[in-house]
Amino acid sequence: MRFLRQTASIAAKDLRSELRTKDSLNAAGSFALVIIVLFSFMLDPTETQTVYELSGGLLWLVFAFAGALILNRSFARELPNDCLDMLVASPVSSSALFLGKATANFTLLLVVELVCLPVFGGMYNLSRWSTHLGPLLGVVVLGTWGVTVIGTMFSAITVNLRLRELMLPILVYPIMIPCLMAAMKLSTVLISGEAITGDDWIWLRLLIGFDIIFTSLSLLTVDFVLVS
């Protein structure tokens, strides 16, 4: 119970801070929408089949780029006034601190994605995008948790680096590749109006496995990262 209360306190604090300033939400939201518009210029909307085949990839590139803006701020938010030191010195376990921050990042990124998803469907004339809305949202949730958990961990690792805004994407994107590949593949299938069948299940298992493995690894190693 103590662990869950600490996690909830950290997540609530981060969300309250973000709702006051809206720094990350405004930046990530507007950046995502701009990318969606820019990508639409390179595709011929009359070639519907091509657009459907690329849809998952485009969507998750937008989510990954927008996510980096939110994740960069996660631990950097603690730097003014040395707040991170106070949290690490408090009786909060490092894993609760990590999980609270990951939960807040996940919520913020999910909000941006839920705004972008219908815009994406409309902008690219993907009439079948909401046919399997439930499973698509499930994939979005699983993929977003994978992106968030890796990003939050590397936000902690890079928090004291001078070029952390540059270093975070460089370090994070290569590690996200399995998660992004699985999310792209599954999203393409679902946006095209098809159900997940046969060979596609392996991508779903990969996505779930990625989330479990990297969440466990992060929880086990975050104390080592935060305490010098």
Partner 1 sequence: MTPAVEVQKAWKYFGDYPALRSISLDVPAGTCLALLGRNGAGKTTLLRILSGLSNPSEGSVRILGHGSRDYQARARTGMIGHGIGIYDELSAAENLRLFARLFHVRDAEQTVQQWLTRVSLDRVQNSVVREFSRGMRQRLALARAFLHGPSLLLLDEPFTSLDDRAIALLQSLLADALKGGATVIMSTHQLREAMELATHVALLDRGKLAHSGERPVQMLADPTWLYRTYGDSQ
Q: Taking the complex as a whole, how short is the minimal distance between the CB of residue 222 and partner 1, in angstroms?
A: 13
State the virtual CA torsion across 4, 6, 10, 16 in degrees, nearest 10. Answer: 80
Asked if 31 and 69 touch (Cβ cutoff 8 Å), the reply is yes
If the CB atoms of residues 15 and 208 are measured against partner 1, the closer one turns out to be 15
If the CB atoms of residues 200 and 223 are measured against partner 1, the closer one turns out to be 223
Q: What is the CA radius of gyration of the chain?
A: 18
Q: Taking the complex as a whole, how short is the minimal distance between the CB of residue 43 and partner 1, in angstroms?
A: 40
Q: Taking the complex as a whole, how short is the minimal distance between the CB of residue 16 and partner 1, in angstroms?
A: 7
CA dist., res. 37 & res. 54, Å (int)? 15
DSSP type of residue 131: T
Q: Taking the complex as a whole, how short is the minimal distance between the CB of residue 223 and partner 1, in angstroms?
A: 8
CA 134 to chain CA centroid, Å, is 19
If the CB atoms of residues 8 and 175 are measured against partner 1, the closer one turns out to be 8
If the CB atoms of residues 87 and 207 are measured against partner 1, the closer one turns out to be 87
What is the contact surface with partner 1 in residues (CB under 8 A)? 2, 5-6, 9, 13, 16-17, 20-21, 80-83, 85-93, 223, 227-228
Asked if 212 and 150 touch (Cβ cutoff 8 Å), the reply is no
Phi-psi domain of 48 (left: phi exceeds 0; alpha: psi -120 through 50; beta: other)? alpha
CA dist., res. 115 & res. 33, Å (int)? 9
If the CB atoms of residues 2 and 205 are measured against partner 1, the closer one turns out to be 2
Q: Taking the complex as a whole, how short is the minimal distance between the CB of residue 122 and partner 1, in angstroms?
A: 34
